[in-house]
Structure 1
């Protein structure tokens, strides 16, 4: 089934991202956000390791066992600012109620949660979109998650591209980012550097470190870009209404600011990599399939 117009396909090729308004109806979007809020309200801090989701801004990255073994589970990761600083005599504590402390929930929602499975692996619309886009012969779904951008404490996401974090050889990642609430400049909407996917080289990758945790390592034979993407002109904000699906090329540079507003910015996202012969996703990557749960085929 044809999903995209010729103009949309051209914009995707030129910009490296594409917003598709009303991809999901208000009823479908409401079902997803209702489930997302239910999961947040079910979060039990008792026994949680207080794993926060750290970004590249401070040079530190999440990498404990709770994170590294989340590829076949549904786990909760906290906002750093939702916790008090830990001291030798006083462990970290939540500053806010548990449901308001969560940065994201992942990473196997598309497989394990019945609602998000229905709108990912079991969605004819999603399958038709993947076929119509024509970028992948055998897309495999991985890293499905809810990202929260909580009011007042939702942190920024620095400039990055997705293939660095979900590396295949050759790079093949595509993100499907679904707004469950209106995403605005006030509550942390995405920004993109249009066309950057044409010149960005995937020269490093996010991997499991030999001694535990995670780190970045160079991709052999690929020279890093000399440009400072952060300061380049041409960045465009991408505000969108609830129900919008945004396709994100694995090499396009994007980011989002913190959320200082009173309104949350809940989204659901999953990624696809090429599973066809000639593409390799290896054991160095931080996110690993398991024998019981290999990366699910979309088509």
Structure 2
């Protein structure tokens, strides 16, 4: 049987690199993407130049992949950026950049691969969202919103393309030990700001959660299991038990009770 061709956006580091390495070892033909692949070393699979914020870059990258392999069987929409800060103090330009990367970019990549998957009568798209996308988290409002929106886009698009033999699913990771904290936008701690003390405390807590996060290979194994499943679910959550359980609590608890739990957790 011909090897399935997998494209992973944001495959040069972090979860994307871990997933790609794992799948390559399992025998898949793997390609990753990077805005500057010429500057990346140590990736065991080829990288294609792609900036998810640029529609022409997306079209060129998919065209290159089709020229190389003649098909695209699995798209893993992994490229994304973090952002933290009091909403009042986050520049509009950074909010727009986050949505361009975490929401509009994945949408455009899906639009670029769907015609090819439709002609093959087969395709799997896995959108990497976040457990944070299931709830509004203090000082992560923009990140929660962009990832939550991608979850809902996936739910709708999944129904639109099912008759073409294409499956779309979400996988929402919790905190994993990657370099995402180094690459995300942090609204600066402003001396004398009304949010200085609480934001500073929350920012330190968030960074500690990433540093002590789960092994990225857990995410790779979860993605591999989804790819092997002939009938993937709509949603998957991957992470520590309490992170996944927090979604259950949100569903069953009254809103104000759940809000109080979050505020106690973040010491607000």
* TM-score > 0.5, shorter chain as reference: no
Higher share of residues assigned strand: 1
If the length of structure 1 is used for normalisation, what is the TM-score?
0.26
Higher share of residues assigned helix: 2
If the length of structure 2 is used for normalisation, what is the TM-score?
0.28
